[in-house]
Chain A
Amino acid sequence: SQQGEEDPQALSIQEGENATMNCSYKTSINNLQWYRQNSGRGLVHLILIRSNEREKHSGRLRVTLDTSKKSSSLLITASRAADTASYFCAPAVETSGSRLTFGEGTQLTVNP
């Protein structure tokens, strides 16, 4: 298993602005997943990008993956107050075990 490291640790923006969060990891992966956690709640799967993909979109979310730099970014466009949450990346290597390991995350605050 391996853990992604999210950056920045905290991000505060105004409603309507875009939010970009970054993730770095250390070894080769099969896919990388992004999750959101509202305070005290379970994690919610947002989007998965496979190692042979460079970019993926889902609604207001855009994820990029650069396997040469071992990094990924999550862009939330036109943010809303309801996007306030912690965001986590989880690199997955399908041959190295079943667990996903979560880091400290990026705490996003969207101010109305």
Chain B
Amino acid sequence: EPEVTQTPSHQVTQMGQEVILRCVPISNHLYFYWYRQILGQKVEFLVSFYNNEISEKSEIFDDQFSVERPDGSNFTLKIRSTKLEDSAMYFCASSEMWSGGDGYTFGSGTRLTVV
């Protein structure tokens, strides 16, 4: 079964450093998403991406966040200057259709720890 692959599975970074989280969505999917989950809290939407541009973003997705599809297969989330409160699980997802018309496929996540 096709999978969404995320790397690394765990990243520890110093406060103020830049991090890039990587995702390989399912190859025939057109819509890409990033979500995050702070420990013990809900899964929160960050951003959706379609046709090489952001289609929607949440209040969380401020200027320190950016997304990119640098080539035909990768989808990245960059956090420019990490803060302690950015510590969370970050999930990438992809879907074939708008609003996940046949469901989203999520990756296993990257656990980001900011120290």
Chain A interface (Cβ < 8 Å from any Cβ of B)? 1, 30-31, 33, 35, 37, 40-45, 48, 88, 90, 92-94, 97-105
The answer on a CB contact under 8 Å between B103 and A42 is: no
In the complex, number of A-B residue pairs with CB atoms less than 8 Å apart: 74
| Size bracket, chain B contacts | 20 to 34
In the assembled complex, the Cα of A42 lies from the Cα of B109 at a distance in Å of 6
Binary flags per residue of B76-115, CB closer than 8 Å to A gives 1, else 0 = 0000000000000101010000111111111111010000
| Residues of B contacting A48 in the complex (Cβ-Cβ under 8 angstroms) | 100-103
Q: Verify if B27 is at the interface (C-beta below 8 Å from A).
A: no
Give which listed residue, A1, A45, A105, contacts B104 with CB less than 8 A. Answer: A45
| Residues of A contacting B58 in the complex (Cβ-Cβ under 8 angstroms) | 99
The answer on a CB contact under 8 Å between B106 and A44 is: yes
In the assembled complex, the Cα of A34 lies from the Cα of B87 at a distance in Å of 27
Give which listed residue, B42, B45, B91, B107, contacts A104 with CB less than 8 A. Answer: B42
Please report whether the interface of chain A is mostly helix, strand, loop or mixed according to DSSP: loop
Q: Verify if B11 is at the interface (C-beta below 8 Å from A).
A: no
Given contacts A98-B50, A99-B58, A103-B42, contact A42 B99 (CB under 8 A): no
In the assembled complex, the Cα of A18 lies from the Cα of B106 at a distance in Å of 27
The answer on a CB contact under 8 Å between B109 and A41 is: yes
Please report whether the interface of chain B is mostly helix, strand, loop or mixed according to DSSP: strand
In the assembled complex, the Cα of A48 lies from the Cα of B43 at a distance in Å of 19
In the assembled complex, the Cα of A31 lies from the Cα of B33 at a distance in Å of 19
The answer on a CB contact under 8 Å between A98 and B43 is: no
The answer on a CB contact under 8 Å between B99 and A102 is: no
| Residues of A contacting B100 in the complex (Cβ-Cβ under 8 angstroms) | 33, 45, 48, 90, 92, 100
In the assembled complex, the Cα of A48 lies from the Cα of B100 at a distance in Å of 9
The answer on a CB contact under 8 Å between A43 and B89 is: no
What are 9 sample pairs from A and B whose C-beta atoms fall under 8 A apart?
A: A41-B109, A42-B107, A43-B91, A48-B100, A90-B100, A92-B99, A97-B56, A102-B42, A105-B42
| Residues of A contacting B14 in the complex (Cβ-Cβ under 8 angstroms) | none
In the assembled complex, the Cα of A76 lies from the Cα of B114 at a distance in Å of 39
The answer on a CB contact under 8 Å between B99 and A100 is: yes
